[in-house]
Structure 1
Amino acid sequence: MAKLDSEYSSSSSSSLLVLLLLSLGSLHNVLGGQVIKVDVGLILDKDTIVGKMTKTCMDMALEDFYATNHNFTTRLVLHPRDSKTDVVEAAYAAIDLLKNVRVQAILGPQSSTQAEFVINIGNKTQVPVISLATSPFLSPKENPYFIRAAPIASAQIGAVVSIIKTFSWRQIVLIYEDNSYGSGILPHLIDALLPINTQVRYQSVISLSATDDYILGELYKLQTIQTRVFVVHMLLPLASRLFLKVKEVGMMRQGYVWIITDAITSLLDSMDPTHIEAMQGVIGVKTYVPRSKELDEFRKRWRKRFIQENPDIEHECELNIYGLWAYSSVKALAMATEKAQISKPKFWKPNTNGENWTDLDVIGASEMGPMLLQSIRNMRFNDLSGEFNLVDGELQSSTFQIVNVIGKRDWEVGFWTPKYGISKHLMPDKDSYTTNKDDLIKPIIWPGESYVVPKGWEMTAMENRLRVGVPVGNAFYGFIKVEKHPQTNDVIAIGFCVDVFKEVMDHLLPYAIQYEFIPFVSPGSNITISYDELVYQIALDKFDVVVGDVTIKTNRSKFVDFTMPFTESGVAMIVPIKDDESKNAWIFMKPLTMDMWLIILALFIFIGFVVWVLEHRVNKEFRGPPLQQVGMIFWFSFSTLVFAHTEKVVNNLSRFIVVVWVFVVLVVTSSYTASLTSMLTVQKLQPTITNINDLIKSGDYVGYPEGSYIGELLKSMGFDPSKVRAVQAFNEALSKGSTNGGVAAIVDEIPYLRLFLSKYCSKYVMVGPTHNSVGFGFAFAKGSPLVPDVSRGILSLKEGEKMNEIIAKWFSKDKGCIDQNDIRVTFGSLTVKSFKGLFLIIGVSSLFAFIVFISNFLYENKTILASNCSIRQKVAMMVSSFDKRKDGSSDRCKKPIAVDEGMAISTIATTAICGDKQ
């Protein structure tokens, strides 16, 4: 133990000796006249926690800086002034420092409202103002002599919005203090919320001078709003009062969400324990400060000195980020002063009549101010707060902590960075920006000590029932029908739309919603004439939601928000069905087009001729009288259809042609049989009209439901307005027809048409769709937080079996009806394009065989062609050779029967056709 004491004494003596030498060196420099004193003004609120903390940190910063930089030729001398939390006092303090002390720079004030006036004075006198003011309305670009030594308040917007996105809240209420600091964040927050489809439902502005009764009244007003997510952006004094009243009125309970910004979160350690107790479950964001050994040692020294300088502090305070920024800003100013080589203060004054001079004119403009400004505007160094990086006069910050107020302190639950979003670590193992609950370090404990994520919205006491508007007098009762109970007179709504709505609201939402149906009738009528008028009642605050067969349309979405559609989309038409096509006597001709028939006939003749040419020389069955041989050509090719020809082919080329031809005939006959079978069996129902363009060209009347937007749609599609009729009874109008006061077709949305066809599917068929539409949806008030939850419920319902049960309940088909999905609207005849490949194969094969045969034939008779006989004699001899006849004459060039030498070529062709005349 003695040895340790000896070592400790020795170490302490060495440290004291070093400090003494440094002090003597500094004293020598001062006595020698080498040190230049630079006067710096310090404006702060001495009676506030932040003001006291800032003063202690700045004094320690000067001591620490010059203890390690004793060779600097400049020394900052602080001249503190108390702004007394007043704008006028802050401005007066700045003028006093400039006029009487001739300061070269001003540190502070800490409040944005005070800083605004002081910065204007600094711009006028060219004296840099280094302040912790964070209001976005104060910009170094617009105020060249303003140095922001704290990150701008809008830098934390990304972290706040990420929290909102993580939990899918669609509406928030912003509470801020009534000054430039409070309102400065508003435009940035609104812009950042747009990409995540979240709205600022209400803005609550509270003045610094607001009484407790005013705050209570404002909170009672907020209770009447459905939104339960509140973002609070104000300074600590007002925030402390606010949260005491929040707890008092019962708004710090389960279901509520409170998010606080950096100005409050960073000072939680300095708050009274009573105020902390009123904030249990609050989420906050604050600038991240990296931990270090130097920071820990500084905290210990600062705490000891702070208590000594402020013995009257009622509760223990901890050093926060504002104190660290103040500490670094003094260091930055000291380094900039040394770099600029500041000399004695000198202010030049304008050449004006002294009688009209103001205090600022008397002060003049600092000659050293521009040099000092350039030295400090872009400064970067590592300090206790991490990296202190000034870029164009503004401190940069990119990493924020997400904390949860639990017990007597705030607990870290995650980090946020612009690159990675929310994460558990500063350097996460991911490459993209994410905002998932799984990215948090641990689950958040919400107000009311609940681990259940608040939905962000709830029915208020004044709105305990959802007002559901429903149409009256709808012709399609399968969708919705409204009646009144005969005894209780209560409104009873039934139908497909009502069942879907009830299933979603009662079983698929994560919370309970009470609602009541309210019928709507158009003025001067007992039914709902216009659905546009019905939906507009939501904008008039008559209904909270409209349920029914309401189509999602662009003009309606301007004043309401629709859920996702719960029915299929599209506009189609229904037309009468023709008589059974199988009764047509010429139906056997319909499977093939006329071109197809003609080409097949031509192929029969061509194939028969080619086979006859190939077989005539070597096959006696292909000889005989001319008429018999012509008949043989047709018989052989046509008999291939039924594979009934008895003639045998002996030539290999003929066999090749016959094989290919049989394959072609097999494919064509199979296709013909299949097409004819379909026409005689499946295609028993055919629409009278298959295309809406044909309906326009024919000039027939077309119908649409009375009061529907389909009428305007038809006119925009090119229909003559005089040919468009509004009808109520679809069956009656279609039965009459276009020429008898009815219509040729009905155009409507697919859900209506399917309901109609469930009763009349044997008489009509649906053709289309002819136009795209979104479908039916539920309409809610603009910005209603129910919309995403109900949409998710509809999606879940459509993916399950319950939706099929609801459809079967209201739209079950008559047993005698044929499923419309099984009806083939059109059957096209088989065309040449479908078989051009086959035809090409048989054509090329036949021509190939024919060319080979002719080549062989000419080769065998080349001696005749080389003789000196006349052309007439050569032809006769080749014909003789083709028919394989010899007359035994020794005259090589015996004259043939043909006497006209000019007809030689036609003679061989005639002989080839007529063959042997014996």
Structure 2
Amino acid sequence: MASYAPSKLILVFFLVSYSSTSSLALNKTTNIGVIIDEGSRAGKEQKTAIEIAVQKLNSGSKNHKLAIQFKNSKGDPLEAASSASDLIDKENVQVIVGTDTWEETTVVAKIGQRAKIPVISLTAHTFQSQSRLQWPFLVQMTNVDMHDEIKCIASIVQSYNWKRTIVVYEDNMFGDGYIGVSLLSEALQQIGSLIEQTVAVPHFTSSFDPTETIRENLANVVTTKQSRVFIVLKSSLQDASRVFEEANKLGLMGRDSVWILGDSFSSFLDSLDPSVFQHIQGALGVKTYYYDNSTQFLDFKSNFKTSFRSKYPEEDKSEPGIYAIRAYNSIETISLALDRLGNLKYTDGKKLLDTILSTNFSSLTGRIDFQGENQSEVFQLVNIIGKS
């Protein structure tokens, strides 16, 4: 019997070794870099939603774990670029999520492309096919297309038979605001309306004083133009808020004026500071529609409100807005892509990128399908009354 003892010992050793190796494979951890402006309402929502997503997905996955490395961009594109480099070089992240502005997104996308790291943007850009060609490693969590938004706005103008409009847009370095004005002009001409004047607002990071420019342009409208139908087509939250503040001072937000707000502003109404609402009473908003009555969303909403109140008691609102939804969906997208990859090792991120882009699933608020570029977006019309 003594002659069998070594064999038994060897057998036991191999079983333990195999079990340890399997455990390591099953518990693979993927580092995810997140770049947000932690001082902004958007950043607070994103961070809360991402933490909820990671906690839920990690507890339910046996194949992999997600480790989140947060970086604070402070809303500065240069800071965002530095954060992206640190995440790749020092934290060894395999994918980057975040950025609140298109300016931040573009610089981070360039860095991600050089490192062959997928970058998932939570910011909407109006011409997605163009951005994908320019930044092939960039993935956008929104499918908003300006052509659909233009059709919706033109339909509103037509239904009220307004013949003249004033268009307000942000003059940024990408020129998408100007392109949007051209598209809107064509759509309005088809229904017998026209753009009487455009008001180009300097980007809030411009060296020019945006407030003074806005005031002068709106004062010119008061004295020289007939139309009192204003369309805020493409603008950052900062510049749009300044526009409304100056319009109020000039008496352009009363009963004699109409304001139609594009998706770039309306989709973030849930996240606006309550003080902003006093300047936009009665405005109409064209907002991306999403289904918010599913059991999955209601569970997320309940968890979000509890966590958000605990982390940020100074905030008046605890409802999750579009920022939070996109952030949660981005983490779920990554997790599902990693599930599909299994234990395969990818060396340059290209396989992860391709897997993310081919992933489609039922998210918090509807179907996520990165290949469904030809699907029309659904919008809802909202009216701003009181604090909501």
Q: Distance in 1 between matches of 2:364 and 2:167?
A: 33
Tell me the residue number matched to 1:289: 290
1:352-751 mapped onto 2 (5 Å cutoff): 367-391=347-371, 398-409=377-388
Offset at residue 343 of structure 1 (A) = 6.0
Offset at residue 293 of structure 1 (A) = 3.3
The answer to whether the Cα contact below 8 Å between 2:97 and 2:119 also exists between their aligned partners in 1 is yes
Q: Secondary structure at the match of 1:188?
A: helix
The answer to whether the Cα contact below 8 Å between 1:39 and 1:77 also exists between their aligned partners in 2 is yes
Q: Distance in 1 between matches of 2:153 and 2:217?
A: 23
Tell me the residue number matched to 2:305: 303
The answer to whether the Cα contact below 8 Å between 1:193 and 1:199 also exists between their aligned partners in 2 is yes
Matched, 1:239 2:218: no
Distance 1:308 1:29, change over 3 A: farther
Q: Over residues 293-337 of structure 1, what are the superposed CA-to-partner deviations in whole Å (9 max), with x where a residue is unaligned? A: 332232121011011112333x22421123112211110111112
Distance 1:206 1:342, change over 3 A: farther
Offset at residue 30 of structure 1 (A) = 11
Tell me the residue number matched to 2:160: 167
Coordinate RMSD, CA, aligned: 2.4
Offset at residue 122 of structure 1 (A) = 2.1
Q: Distance in 2 between matches of 1:132 and 1:166?
A: 33
The answer to whether the Cα contact below 8 Å between 1:135 and 1:184 also exists between their aligned partners in 2 is no
Q: Distance in 1 between matches of 2:111 and 2:327?
A: 21
Q: Distance in 2 between matches of 1:52 and 1:395?
A: 32
Distance 1:139 1:213, change over 3 A: closer
Q: Secondary structure at the match of 2:168?
A: strand
Tell me the residue number matched to 1:201: 196
Q: Secondary structure at the match of 2:87?
A: helix
1:853-868 mapped onto 2 (5 Å cutoff): none
The one-letter code matched in structure 1 to 2:212 is D
Matched, 1:110 2:90: no
The answer to whether the Cα contact below 8 Å between 1:269 and 1:317 also exists between their aligned partners in 2 is no
The one-letter code matched in structure 2 to 1:401 is Q
Residue from 9, 12, 30 that aligns with 1:38? 30
What is the TM-score normalised by the length of structure 2? 0.84
Tell me the residue number matched to 2:73: 83
The one-letter code matched in structure 2 to 1:383 is S
Q: Distance in 2 between matches of 1:267 and 1:150?
A: 13
Q: Distance in 1 between matches of 2:200 and 2:21?
A: 54
Offset at residue 105 of structure 1 (A) = 1.0
Q: Distance in 2 between matches of 1:75 and 1:234?
A: 38
* Count of residues in Structure 1 that have an aligned counterpart in Structure 2: 357
1:835-914 mapped onto 2 (5 Å cutoff): none
Tell me the residue number matched to 2:150: 157
Tell me the residue number matched to 1:324: 325
Q: Distance in 2 between matches of 1:376 and 1:59?
A: 20
The answer to whether the Cα contact below 8 Å between 1:342 and 1:368 also exists between their aligned partners in 2 is no
Tell me the residue number matched to 1:62: 54
Tell me the residue number matched to 1:722: none
Q: Secondary structure at the match of 1:206?
A: strand
Unpaired segments ≥5 residues, structure 2: 1-18
Distance 1:397 1:54, change over 3 A: farther
Offset at residue 282 of structure 1 (A) = 0.3
Q: Secondary structure at the match of 1:406?
A: coil
Q: Over residues 727-773 of structure 1, what are the superposed CA-to-partner deviations in whole Å (9 max), with x where a residue is unaligned? A: xxxxxxxxxxxxxxxxxxxxxxxxxxxxxxxxxxxxxxxxxxxxxxx
Q: Distance in 2 between matches of 1:108 and 1:228?
A: 38
Distance 1:397 1:132, change over 3 A: farther
Q: Secondary structure at the match of 2:110?
A: helix
Offset at residue 264 of structure 1 (A) = 1.8
Q: Distance in 1 between matches of 2:356 and 2:122?
A: 15
1:112-127 mapped onto 2 (5 Å cutoff): 112-127=102-117
The one-letter code matched in structure 1 to 2:159 is T
Matched, 1:53 2:45: yes
Matched, 1:213 2:212: yes
Q: Distance in 1 between matches of 2:300 and 2:319?
A: 12
The one-letter code matched in structure 1 to 2:314 is D
The one-letter code matched in structure 1 to 2:53 is A
Q: Secondary structure at the match of 2:381?
A: strand
Q: Over residues 837-875 of structure 1, what are the superposed CA-to-partner deviations in whole Å (9 max), with x where a residue is unaligned? A: xxxxxxxxxxxxxxxxxxxxxxxxxxxxxxxxxxxxxxx
The one-letter code matched in structure 1 to 2:163 is R
Seq. identity, %: 30
The one-letter code matched in structure 1 to 2:377 is S
Q: Distance in 2 between matches of 1:163 and 1:398?
A: 16
Offset at residue 211 of structure 1 (A) = 4.6
Q: Distance in 2 between matches of 1:396 and 1:100?
A: 40
Offset at residue 153 of structure 1 (A) = 4.5
Q: Secondary structure at the match of 2:132?
A: coil
Offset at residue 48 of structure 1 (A) = 1.0
Matched, 1:229 2:208: no
Q: Secondary structure at the match of 2:90?
A: helix
Q: Distance in 2 between matches of 1:344 and 1:184?
A: 43
Q: Secondary structure at the match of 1:101?
A: coil
Q: Distance in 2 between matches of 1:342 and 1:222?
A: 62
The one-letter code matched in structure 2 to 1:219 is L
Q: Distance in 2 between matches of 1:30 and 1:157?
A: 56
Q: Distance in 1 between matches of 2:97 and 2:267?
A: 21
Tell me the residue number matched to 2:6: none
Q: Secondary structure at the match of 2:370?
A: strand
The one-letter code matched in structure 1 to 2:228 is R
What is the TM-score normalised by the length of structure 1? 0.37
Residue from 172, 185, 210 that aligns with 2:180? 185
Q: Over residues 681-718 of structure 1, what are the superposed CA-to-partner deviations in whole Å (9 max), with x where a residue is unaligned? A: xxxxxxxxxxxxxxxxxxxxxxxxxxxxxxxxxxxxxx
Q: Secondary structure at the match of 2:99?
A: coil
The structure with higher relative contact order (CA 8 Å, sep 6+) is 2
Q: Distance in 1 between matches of 2:21 and 2:260?
A: 52
The answer to whether the Cα contact below 8 Å between 2:145 and 2:377 also exists between their aligned partners in 1 is no
The answer to whether the Cα contact below 8 Å between 1:261 and 1:285 also exists between their aligned partners in 2 is yes
Residue from 91, 109, 134 that aligns with 1:101? 91
Q: Secondary structure at the match of 1:80?
A: strand
Q: Over residues 145-189 of structure 1, what are the superposed CA-to-partner deviations in whole Å (9 max), with x where a residue is unaligned? A: 111101235142221121112122233222122223644533433
Q: Distance in 2 between matches of 1:55 and 1:189?
A: 36
Offset at residue 250 of structure 1 (A) = 0.3
Q: Over residues 68-108 of structure 1, what are the superposed CA-to-partner deviations in whole Å (9 max), with x where a residue is unaligned? A: 3x22x222221111111111111111112112222211112
Distance 1:246 1:50, change over 3 A: same
Distance 1:29 1:261, change over 3 A: farther
The one-letter code matched in structure 1 to 2:30 is V
Q: Secondary structure at the match of 1:339?
A: helix
Q: Distance in 2 between matches of 1:243 and 1:53?
A: 24
Offset at residue 31 of structure 1 (A) = 10
Q: Secondary structure at the match of 1:76?
A: strand
Distance 1:307 1:252, change over 3 A: same
Distance 1:397 1:302, change over 3 A: farther
Distance 1:85 1:183, change over 3 A: farther
Q: Distance in 2 between matches of 1:260 and 1:90?
A: 29
Offset at residue 52 of structure 1 (A) = 0.9
Q: Distance in 2 between matches of 1:194 and 1:401?
A: 23
Offset at residue 29 of structure 1 (A) = 9.0
The answer to whether the Cα contact below 8 Å between 1:389 and 1:396 also exists between their aligned partners in 2 is no
